[in-house]
Amino acid sequence: MILSAEGIDLFYGDAQALDGVSIEVKEKEIVCIVGANGAGKSSLIRTIAGIEKPRAGRIQYKGADITGWPSHKVCNLGIGQVAEGRQIFPTLTVDENLEVGAYIPRGRAGKAAARERVYAMFPRLAERRNQYAGTMSGGEQQMLAIGRCLMGQPELIMFDEPSLGLAPTVVQEVFRVIGRLNEEGTTIILVEQNVAVSLALAQHAYVLENGRITLKGTGQELLANDQVRQAYMGL
């Protein structure tokens, strides 16, 4: 077990976003979180990342209790995040965005090798390394967001809606990259609107509804579950 969240309660003021949420993530697996808009998926990602602080519960990474740690410390442990909406720096070039990704201590030593890995994985970024990120297409910006995350040399990456707003051909490329990263040994937590594809990729999955886990199982089990198929795949 590389990461576990146990009994997580999260509030925004008086509104409860997460209610006793528990998940387990094994090393080198893809774990998918399924749920409707507003179910609490992004809140869970942000809580694990240290952006939000839970009112109750515990988060452990590699046996260490990291509950309530600031996000920069969580990131430096090896937990990366590709946020919803990409959130690249539009007025910086591609190369400068990657440089920012290597700012944490764990990213500095192998920065040159990490950059070459990113450019090998995304040749279009290499072609545009001196271009301002804000002038690129949505697909190119998503590649940059993934590349920037990789510059911190994470062992676990949390993807929050990576295909949102992208053309179908680009979506295929994003999923190909996620699968490749996993094959190379990176553990993945995947929050994704494309439920059928993400469940097919995942070893384990959870359904989050109104801030609570209502179903869990292997990706294939949830893919075959009638409740999941009707609610999230329109079948």
Phi and psi (nearest 5°) for 152?
-85, 0
Express each pLDDT in 149-165 by its tens digit.
Answer: 999 999 999 999 999 88
Q: Do the beta carbons of residue 155 and residue 184 sit within 8 Å?
A: no
Express each pLDDT in 205-223 by its tens digit.
Answer: 999 999 999 999 999 999 9
Instruction: Identify the pLDDT of residue 235.
Output: 55
Instruction: Identify the pLDDT of residue 99.
Output: 96
- The residues near 22 (Cβ < 8 Å, ≥ 6 apart) are 4, 5, 6, 7, 8, 57, 213
Sign of CA dihedral 192, 197, 202, 208: positive
Question: H/E element holding 77?
Answer: helix 71-77
Express each pLDDT in 72-101 by its tens digit.
Answer: 999 999 999 999 888 999 999 999 999 999
**Residue 89, strand partner residues:** none
Q: Which pTM value belongs to this model?
A: 0.94
